[in-house]
Amino acid sequence: MAQQAMTETADGGSGPERPGSRLRRLAHRAFSGWRGDPRVWRRGLVLAVLALLLALVMLLHSHIPNRVGNLGSLTETFLPWLGFAIPVLLVLGLVRKSATALIAVLLPAIVWLNLFGGLLTDKSGSGGDLMVATHNVNADNPDPAATATDVAGSGADVLALEELPASSVPVYEKALGTTYKHHAVVGTVGLWSKYPMADVRAVDIKLGWKRAMRATVTTPRGPVAVYVAHMPSVRVKMEAGFTARQRDKSADALGEAIADEPLGRVVLLGDLNGTMNDRSLNAVTSQLRSTQGAAGSGFGFSWPASFPMARIDQIMVKGVEPQSSWTLPRTGSDHLPVAARVKLDTGS
C-alpha cells in the first residue's frame, strides 16, 4: 500500500496531509522571497512595458495603418494568436519575481478575453431548416472525386465549391450529381443544391474573370439568395509586406452586390481570404453575420488544413438565424470545409 503523505499536527505529532496543503506549501516557498523585498516592484519593468504594448495592439488594432504593407490587416488576420504571448509573459514575470509585470499582464488578458472570450463557449444548438457548406477544393487537389464524396457526405442541402479548375468540373459534377439534382458553375465557383435554383448569374467582383456568383434557392420555407465568392489571395512579399489591394477591391464590389440584393434572406458562402476581424472586409461583414461567431464553438479555423491558423472560409447570413456552425474533416484540399445550420423564417 502506498505510503500516505504526512504533515505535522498542532501538538507536534503527524497525520495525513490535508488536500491543498501541499499546494499551499509550494506557493509559500515560491513567494516567500518576495515579501519585504522592494525589488519585486522594480524588477520586470521591460516585461510590464511589453504587456502594455500587447494590450494596446489588441485594443487599438483597428488604428494600425494599412498604408505600410497592409500591416493593420495582417495584424487583424492573426489577432487571436497574440493571446499566446500572455502566458509567456506570465511565466517570465514569475521567474523574474516581478509584481509589476504580473499586474501588467492582467491588462492584455482582459483585452483578449473581451475580444475573443465569447468564442470559447459552445453556442451551437440543434435544429435548423437548412444546412449549408462551403469548400475551397484547391485547383491542385490530387483526388477531386474523393473530395466531392466527402463534402456530399456531410448532409449539406446547399454546397458551394471554390477554386474549381475547368478540367475537374466534370469530375465534381459526376460525383455530386446523385446527391444534388440542381447545380451551376460560374467561372471557378460552383453551387450544388437539393432544391431548385433560379436567377443564376455571375457577380462582378472587379477581377476580369469570374470568381463569384449568385442564385436563388427555393427551399421548402421559401426563397433564399445564395452568394458564392472566392476573393483574390493575399500575399506577403519582402518588398511590399502584406499585399491585399485586389482582395480589398473585390470585397467592396461584393458588398455592393449584397447591398442591392432584393431578397431579405441572404447566405454568403466562400473563401474570402480574410477573417471577420479584417477591416478590409467591412463592406461585407457590416451587412452579414458570421455563423461561427453566432452559433459556433471555438474559432473554427479553416486554413491551412494541415495546421489551421485562421478562418478565411466563411458562412455569413442575413435574414436567417444561425443554429450551429462547424468545420468538416480534412479532404485533399489545403482548406477545411466549413458548414452551418440555419433557421429560416416564413418571410422573404
pLDDT tens by residue, 200-223: 999 999 988 999 999 999 999 999
Cell output for 103? 499586474
**64 secondary structure, DSSP code:** S
Write down the residue that cell numbers 522594480 correspond to. Answer: 42
In angstroms, the CA 211 to CA 202 distance is 8
Q: Are residues 141 and 180 in the same domain?
A: yes
Q: Looking at 64, 97, 120, which one is the last position of a domain? A: 120
Residue 173 within any structural domain of the chain:
yes
N- to C-terminal Cα separation, the chain: 72
Write down the residue that cell numbers 437548412 correspond to. Answer: 130
10 Å CB burial of residue 209 (0-12, 13-18, 19+) is: exposed
Residue 23 within any structural domain of the chain:
no
Q: Are residues 310 and 184 in the same domain?
A: yes
Q: Are residues 63 and 170 in the same domain?
A: no
Q: Looking at 102, 120, 138, which one is the last position of a domain? A: 120
Q: Are residues 67 and 143 in the same domain?
A: no
Q: pLDDT value at position 52?
A: 97
Contacts of 134 by beta carbon, 8 Å cutoff, 6+ apart:
159, 160, 161, 162, 228, 269, 270, 271, 313, 314, 315, 337, 338, 339
Residue 11 within any structural domain of the chain:
no
* Weakly modelled stretches of the chain, pLDDT under 70: 1-38, 235-244, 346-348
Per residue in 130-174, pLDDT (tens digit) is 999 999 999 999 999 999 999 999 999 999 999 999 999 999 999
Cell output for 16? 495525513
Cβ atoms of residues 191 and 197 within 8 Å? yes
Cell output for 344? 429560416
Q: Are residues 91 and 235 in the same domain?
A: no
Cell output for 261? 440584393
CA 103 to chain centre: 30
In angstroms, the CA 292 to CA 339 distance is 9
Closest C-alpha among 269, 248, 247 to residue 258: 269
Q: Are residues 142 and 116 in the same domain?
A: no
State which residues form the domain around 146.
Answer: 130-343
Q: Are residues 106 and 156 in the same domain?
A: no
Contacts of 250 by beta carbon, 8 Å cutoff, 6+ apart:
205, 206, 207, 211, 212, 231, 232
Residue 13 within any structural domain of the chain:
no
Closest C-alpha among 259, 183, 181 to residue 215: 183
Q: pLDDT value at position 320?
A: 96
Write down the residue that cell numbers 474559432 correspond to. Answer: 299
Cβ atoms of residues 242 and 234 within 8 Å? yes
Q: Looking at 120, 153, 169, which one is the last position of a domain? A: 120
Residue 16 within any structural domain of the chain:
no
Q: Are residues 53 and 162 in the same domain?
A: no
Q: Are residues 65 and 100 in the same domain?
A: yes
Q: pLDDT value at position 3?
A: 47
Residue 203 within any structural domain of the chain:
yes
Q: Are residues 257 and 289 in the same domain?
A: yes
As beta bridge partners, residue 332 has none
Q: pLDDT value at position 240?
A: 42
As beta bridge partners, residue 228 has 213, 269
In angstroms, the CA 136 to CA 151 distance is 11
The reply to whether omega before 304 is within 30° of 0 (cis) is yes
Q: How many structural domains compose the chain? A: 2
Q: pLDDT value at position 239?
A: 46
Q: Are residues 108 and 151 in the same domain?
A: no
Residue 211 within any structural domain of the chain:
yes
Write down the residue that cell numbers 472525386 correspond to. Answer: 145
In angstroms, the CA 231 to CA 271 distance is 6
In angstroms, the CA 299 to CA 205 distance is 27
Write down the residue that cell numbers 477554386 correspond to. Answer: 163
Residue type (1 letter), 297: S
The residue count for the chain: 348
Q: Are residues 115 and 147 in the same domain?
A: no
pTM for this model (two decimals):
0.84
Residue 67 within any structural domain of the chain:
yes
Q: Which ranges in the chain belong to alpha helices (H)?
A: 21-31, 39-42, 45-59, 71-77, 85-96, 99-116, 144-152, 169-176, 245-259, 282-285, 291-295
Q: pLDDT value at position 237?
A: 53
